[in-house]
Structure 1
Amino acid sequence: MGTSIRQRLTTTVAGLALAAGMAGAQAAEPIKVGVLHSLSGTMAISESTLKDTMLMLIEQQNAEGGVLGRELEPVVVDPASDWPLFAEKARGLITQEKVDVIFGAWTSVSRKSVLPVVEELEVPLFYPVQYEGEESSKYVFYTGAAPNQQAIPAVDYLREMLGIERFVLEGTDYVYPRTTNKILKQYLMDHGVAEEDILVNYTPFGFSDWQSEVARIKEFGSQGKPTAVVSTINGDANVPFYKELANQGISAADIPVIAFSVGEQEISGIDTAPLVGHMAAWNYFQSVQTPANDAFIERWHEYIGDAERVTNDPMEAHYIGFNMWVQAVEKAGTADPEAVVDAMVGVTAPNLTGGVSTMMPNHHITKPVLIGEVQEDGQFAVVWETPGMVAGDAWSDYLPDSAELIADWRAPLACGNYNVQSGECSGQNY
């Protein structure tokens, strides 16, 4: 009898130990992090650096013990600047690779491609690039700038500080430039700029034959009123654009350009002479001197093995978003996507310019706004900045269809497009 009891006890204890060991092994499984950035095609000039940024952040987090005692495992895919392929790659990351989060996309059309996939499969996407607004999804966290954190302050600077009276809204032909310029045109007209003093133009991705387009800009700027170009040109089309401005003798003193998609990465390795004096509006520049930024740049150079490699705004957005995600996982006590999404609102993380960013109920973050002038060394000298943080606005106050909409993902509202006049959450929740 005694032997039988001991055998049963031994068997029970062994079974419990085995179960505990299996549970421990399961808990120790890596957390998979999807990295969805173009490594080839027209957007590789911008996105490949963001892939490297994510790998650096993941490596550093693993060196600090991972998250919840679990290692992070990056899963990198290349959607190759092919917008439908973004959706296919995102679906593969979630359904086949079983990632718990995705960091990625650059263009709005690529984000729009991914959006229904993350909505359907309920896995969060952290989107690190300035965009046109007019969206708030439960499963997207917008760590880049909304129009009120970049485009609106930029044209205010042109009007109020430089006395600009005519505006060329020059963009690549896709959703971000078109929607941003729709907002800007209405905003400018609401502030007294005549419609005939606003020229809007779009060119395809990868456009290179800028001669006639730049000639039109030159003609528009020769009408006796101070003129500027507000550029939403994206990707590698920027290089021939600035070269053609110089070819036609247009300097920053004549018709300044303020860009929303040109940063340190886009102008690194090219002749900066045509760009000197032109501007960009971002929420971060490498030239900002703070202890946090100095440490980030040093870590980046060490990781990439190249002291000449620049940092830029979308890299900082991934830095903020990644640290927010880590905090939300720790707050939730799990990497389960739904639990992390619920834990995200209110999470804070230091930015690299000396402040602290907060994830707002509309899934946008608070950010400072900076305007920089291109220098001969390819860096930007900050010439203006907001006195504090600006909260991202998901829905523009300057478009009739969205002026009455707000987004708040907290209960009980839990809506991405709540109409404050009708009291209804209209359509899909984004």
Structure 2
Amino acid sequence: MSYTVAMVIPFQGPGGLYGPSAMASAELAAEEINDDGGLLGQDIELRWVDGGQEPRRVASVVAGLIRDHCIDAIAGWHISSVRNALVPVVSGRVPYVYPALYEGGESRSGVYCTGESPQDYLLPALEWFCGNLGTRRWFLIGDDYVWPRRTYQWLRERASSLGIAVVGSQFVSYGQPDPEGISRGLAAMRDEHCDGVVSLMIGQNAVEFNRAFGRSGLQDHMIRLCPLSDENVLLANSPRENCELYTVSGYFSTLVTESALDFVGRYQHFHGDGAPSLSGPAESCLESLAALAALVRQAHSTEVRDIDRVVDGATFTGPRGRLRFKGNQTVQPVYLGRSEGLEFDVLADIKAS
């Protein structure tokens, strides 16, 4: 008998760029949990669900799996639009660990968030730029869905207290290439004489934005803060296109901590030299399964009502070290990185106080 987890990961669309490394990290996590006795005596099995499909389609697939008793839990990296489509159909029937960096505010029963929210990553990053580089005039460009739009609203509400100005925004199509939208955004950044741009774009969309930004020459005049431009995005762009690109994350493949280095070693041993590049979204998939295992073991139950009772204060260990839940959201380290060619140089631990 097994405990089956639906791993909702994009294998198509903009986020499909993260899919191979996310899948590889999840496979390692399942192997390690099973080697450690599984969940309440049951081995974990993974069932892949393409989270790159239209959100209502993902929700329909997962609803059918729950109805037919094919899955016992949900985890994996996917965008907030998919999460918002899933939560009503899950409706507390199975535990759901959501590991993506997101817009914050998720508090529904049975949903356990291990990813960073704007208070964790955007606030301290902007404070760092303001204090260290004097970056005060910001533009925001993002994919047109809930994470960028709600994060933009969050940023506008806090700009004055941060001592910055948000002078404009541009939202571009998420599901289809939108070079015209990117061009409009670049022109507005130039016209507004911005010091920096926050780019809230996913996967291949981030790649296309960075290419256009590189062609524009704006990297000679302003910096980019791109929270989901991960190692896979860097590999898809040239060093010139990656110039003055910063990102913020709880994990980097170049992070030099004991837990992060140990994770890299285990990952390479498990998958070999040809494994997909590690990144924040990939690491989050391993962490979603590690969190699920810890919550089930601490609750001594796989039922949502029992996990809800123990989640506040629950702890687990992953590549980012020992993490703790506060409510249904983990408290975590956050680091600022700057691109150096095709990898990130970790500049600072900027966790908000």
User: Could you tell me the TM-score, scaled by structure 1's length?
Assistant: 0.76
- State whether residues 144 and 314 of structure 1, in contact with CA within 8 Å, keep that contact through their aligned partners in structure 2: no
Residue in structure 1 matched with residue 39 of structure 2 by the alignment: 67
Stretches of 4+ aligned residues off by more than 6 angstroms: none
- Say if 2:324 is the partner of 1:358: yes
Q: 1:105 deviation in Å?
A: 4.5
Q: Distance in 1 between matches of 2:352 and 2:292?
A: 21
Letter in 1 for 2:348: W
Q: Distance in 1 between matches of 2:317 and 2:77?
A: 23
Q: Please give the residue correspondences for 1:106-145 in structure 2 after superposition, counting only pairs within 5 Å.
A: 106-119=78-91, 121-145=92-116
Greater CA drift, 168-177 or 288-297: 288-297
Secondary structure at the aligned position of 2:97 is classed as: strand
Unaligned runs of 5+ in 2: none
- State whether residues 94 and 304 of structure 2, in contact with CA within 8 Å, keep that contact through their aligned partners in structure 1: yes
- State whether residues 20 and 276 of structure 2, in contact with CA within 8 Å, keep that contact through their aligned partners in structure 1: no
Q: Distance in 2 between matches of 1:295 and 1:343?
A: 28
Greater CA drift, 165-174 or 81-90: 81-90
Q: Please give the residue correspondences for 1:7-156 in structure 2 after superposition, counting only pairs within 5 Å.
A: 29-119=1-91, 121-156=92-127
1:134-188 C-alpha deviation (Å, 9 max, x unpaired): 3311111111101111111122122121101211011111111011011111211
Secondary structure at the aligned position of 1:135 is classed as: coil
Q: 1:289 deviation in Å?
A: 1.2
Letter in 2 for 1:39: F
- Say if 2:215 is the partner of 1:247: yes
Residue in structure 1 matched with residue 223 of structure 2 by the alignment: 256
Assess, with a 3 A threshold, how the Cα gap between structure 1 residues 342 and 47 changes in structure 2: closer, same or farther: farther
Report percent identity of matched pairs. 23
Q: Over the residues paired in the alignment, what is the CA RMSD in angstroms?
A: 2.1
Match of 1:273 among 217, 240, 246: 240
Letter in 1 for 2:70: K
- Say if 2:196 is the partner of 1:228: yes
Residue in structure 1 matched with residue 348 of structure 2 by the alignment: 384
Q: Distance in 2 between matches of 1:123 and 1:65?
A: 21
Q: Distance in 1 between matches of 2:74 and 2:23?
A: 12
- State whether residues 33 and 75 of structure 1, in contact with CA within 8 Å, keep that contact through their aligned partners in structure 2: yes
- State whether residues 54 and 318 of structure 1, in contact with CA within 8 Å, keep that contact through their aligned partners in structure 2: yes
Q: Distance in 2 between matches of 1:292 and 1:307?
A: 22
Secondary structure at the aligned position of 1:274 is classed as: coil
Assess, with a 3 A threshold, how the Cα gap between structure 1 residues 266 and 341 changes in structure 2: closer, same or farther: farther
Aligned length: 350
- State whether residues 18 and 282 of structure 2, in contact with CA within 8 Å, keep that contact through their aligned partners in structure 1: no
Secondary structure at the aligned position of 1:275 is classed as: coil
Q: 1:390 deviation in Å?
A: 5.2
Q: Choose between structure 1 and 2 for higher RCO, CA contacts under 8 A separated by at least 6 residues.
A: 2
- State whether residues 320 and 357 of structure 1, in contact with CA within 8 Å, keep that contact through their aligned partners in structure 2: no
Q: Distance in 2 between matches of 1:212 and 1:172?
A: 14
Q: Distance in 2 between matches of 1:308 and 1:104?
A: 18
- Say if 2:177 is the partner of 1:207: yes
Q: 1:371 deviation in Å?
A: 0.7
Secondary structure at the aligned position of 1:91 is classed as: helix
- Say if 2:289 is the partner of 1:322: yes
User: Could you tell me the TM-score, scaled by structure 2's length?
Assistant: 0.91
Secondary structure at the aligned position of 1:281 is classed as: strand
1:319-372 C-alpha deviation (Å, 9 max, x unpaired): 33322221222223333343233333222123424x4210112x0001112110
Letter in 2 for 1:289: V
Greater CA drift, 132-141 or 143-152: 132-141
1:173-212 C-alpha deviation (Å, 9 max, x unpaired): 1111011011111211334445xx5111111114341334
Residue in structure 2 matched with residue 309 of structure 1 by the alignment: 276
- Say if 2:309 is the partner of 1:342: yes
Secondary structure at the aligned position of 1:150 is classed as: helix
Secondary structure at the aligned position of 2:74 is classed as: strand
Assess, with a 3 A threshold, how the Cα gap between structure 1 residues 50 and 92 changes in structure 2: closer, same or farther: farther
- State whether residues 276 and 374 of structure 1, in contact with CA within 8 Å, keep that contact through their aligned partners in structure 2: yes
- State whether residues 18 and 281 of structure 2, in contact with CA within 8 Å, keep that contact through their aligned partners in structure 1: no
Unaligned runs of 5+ in 1: 1-28, 392-430
Residue in structure 2 matched with residue 367 of structure 1 by the alignment: 332
Letter in 1 for 2:131: E
Assess, with a 3 A threshold, how the Cα gap between structure 1 residues 274 and 214 changes in structure 2: closer, same or farther: same
